[in-house]
Amino acid sequence: MAHRRPRGAAFILAAVVTCAVTAGRDAAAQTLNPTTAEFSPSADHNVTLPTGGAAVTRYDLEFYNVGAANPFQVASLGKPAPAADGLIHVLLSSVLTAFPSPGIVYESRVTAVGPGGTGRSALSNTFTFTTPCTYSIAPTSQALAAGGGPGNATVTTASGCAWTAGSNATWISVTSGAAGSGNGAVGYTAAANTTASSRTGTLTIAGRTLTVSQAGACVFTVAPMTHSITGAAATLSSTVTTTSACAWTATSNASWISITSGGSGSGNGPVNYSVAANTTTSSRNGTLTIAGKTVTITQAPGLAAPANVRIDTSQ
C-alpha cells in the first residue's frame, strides 16, 4: 500500500541507492560488453503526495563519458516495477538509440523524477564495448490467412548482444525466442480471425517492428436462395457476394438442375443454371450448394396430358 507523507510536509526525492551496468548478474570493476542496467528504486518509489500524485513519476538512465559533467544520452524509462530481487532491470538494447563507440569507457547514473524534484544516483561501475550492438530482423512483415497459424522471424546481431521479443497484439503470441543473445529466432502464432474485417498487429523484436497482417474471415451471401417456377424448362441464376480474396464453388444436387456457368469463383460473381422441364404430374424440389449456402428450386408439375384422341369421319 502506498504511504502518504503528512499534509503540508516538505517533499524532497530520496536518492536512488545504487546503479550498476552489468554483463551478467554481478558487476565487475569494469564491465565489457554490458547488456543490462540494474538499480535500486528510489525510497519514494511507492510514496503518494498529499495532493494525491505519485512522488516518483519516472526514472531517467543517463550515459556519460568517464569524467564528463553532462550525459551524452538520457533514456526515459517510465516507471518500471522492481523485480523479485528488489531491483529494476533495464535491457540496454531497449533504451540506447545507438550503442556507444567501441573502446571508450563509460559510466551511468539513474535519476528519479517527480513533482518535488529529482534524486540522482551515484555513478555506476565503468563499462566499455568491443563492438556496437546493432540488430536486424527478417522478415519485417508477414501476411497470414484468416485461419491464423504460426510464423517466425530471425534476429541478426553480434555475439553477446542481448535482445527480447514481445507481442503488441492480443491475438499474436510469442511461442519461442522471447529473449536471446547474438543471432537467434523468434516463433509466434496468430489466432484465427473470426470477423469479416482484416486486421494488423505488431511484434517488437530486438527493438525492431514486425508487422503481421491477417485476412478477414470469408463470409458469403447468396441471393436469391429460393426459386418457384412452372413446370416448363427455365434458366435461373443466383449471385454470390463476398470479399475479393474469398473463393467459392457451386454444385447441383439434382439431376434435373445443371450449372451452366459460375461453377467456381472468387469475390463477387453470378452462378447460372438451367432447370429441365418437369414431365411428371407432381411438383418437385431440388437444391444447389453455392458458396456453402443451399439454394432451393421448387418446380410445379408438368402440363397434364390431353384425353385420348379419337379420329373419325362423323364431321
Q: Residues 106-165: pLDDT tens digits?
A: 999 999 999 988 999 989 989 888 766 789 999 999 999 898 999 999 999 987 788 999
Do the two domains 19-128 and 221-299 of this chain adopt the same fold? yes
Q: What is the DSSP letter of 239?
A: E
Assign 27 a pLDDT band (cuts: 50, 70, 90). Answer: very low
Assign 26 a pLDDT band (cuts: 50, 70, 90). Answer: very low
CATH superfamily of 221-299: Immunoglobulins (2.60.40.10)
Query: For position 182, what pLDDT does the model report?
Result: 87
Q: What is the mean pLDDT of residues 277-293?
A: 95
Tell me how far apart the alpha carbons of residues 258 and 19 are, in angstroms, rounded to a whole number: 80
Query: For position 201, what pLDDT does the model report?
Result: 97
Query: For position 210, what pLDDT does the model report?
Result: 97
pLDDT over 80 (residue 11): no
Q: What is the mean pLDDT of residues 269-297?
A: 96
Q: What is the mean pLDDT of residues 242-266?
A: 93
Assign 229 a pLDDT band (cuts: 50, 70, 90). Answer: very high
**Nearest alpha-carbon partner for 91 in 43, 135, 30:** 135
* φ/ψ of residue 290, rounded to 5: -125, 120
Rg of the chain's alpha carbons, rounded to an integer? Answer: 36
Q: What is the mean pLDDT of residues 166-182?
A: 94
pLDDT tens-digit series, residues 32-81: 878 888 999 999 999 999 888 999 999 999 999 999 999 989 999 999 99
Assign 283 a pLDDT band (cuts: 50, 70, 90). Answer: very high
Q: What is the DSSP letter of 146?
A: T
Q: For residue 125, which amino acid is it?
A: N
Q: What is the mean pLDDT of residues 234-245?
A: 92
Query: For position 4, what pLDDT does the model report?
Result: 40
What percent of the chain is modeled with pLDDT above 90?
A: 61
Domain 136-214 in CATH 3.90.1150.10 = no
Tell me how far apart the alpha carbons of residues 115 and 130 are, in angstroms, rounded to a whole number: 39
Query: For position 63, what pLDDT does the model report?
Result: 92
CB burial of 26-40 (b: ≥16 within 10 Å; e: otherwise) equals ebeeebebbbbbbbb
Residue 297 in grid coordinates: 428450386
Assign 6 a pLDDT band (cuts: 50, 70, 90). Answer: very low
Query: For position 288, what pLDDT does the model report?
Result: 97
Distances (CA, A) of 66 to 109, 125, 130: 11, 10, 17
For the structural domain made of 19-128, what CATH number should be given? 2.60.40
Domain boundaries, the chain: 19-128, 136-214, 221-299
